[in-house]
Amino acid sequence: MLIETFMLIIKNDKMNKYSIFNKIDDNLWHLLLVWYNEALHNSIYQNYFSDIIILLIKNGDEKILLKFFFKLEGMSVFHKTF
């Protein structure tokens, strides 16, 4: 339920050009990555999280992308998963 609500908030931030990505704390990104890694058999969570990451890649600025994929090790989490 939490991830679904989070996804709806992000999708509805389109008018603000997804500026919400700038407001998301590192701890929340880290928690989402941990859940993603631990919920390998939960397709609902995986789908929501994948949608969030696609929106992040399409609309996030370079600073956020670098932080997510390298500082928070998002790239290694995806590499391990696949």
Please give the torsion angle defined by the CA atoms of residues 44, 47, 52 and 56, in that order, rounded to the nearest 10 degrees: 160
Q: Residue 78 is encoded by which pair of tokens?
A: 């995806």
Distance between CA atoms of residues 65 and 57, nearest Å = 7
Backbone φ, ψ for residue 17 (5° rounding): 55, 40
pTM tops 0.75, yes or no: yes
Binning pLDDT at 50, 70 and 90, where does residue 81 land?
Answer: low
- pLDDT tens-digit series, residues 27-74: 999 998 888 888 778 888 888 888 999 999 999 999 999 999 999 888
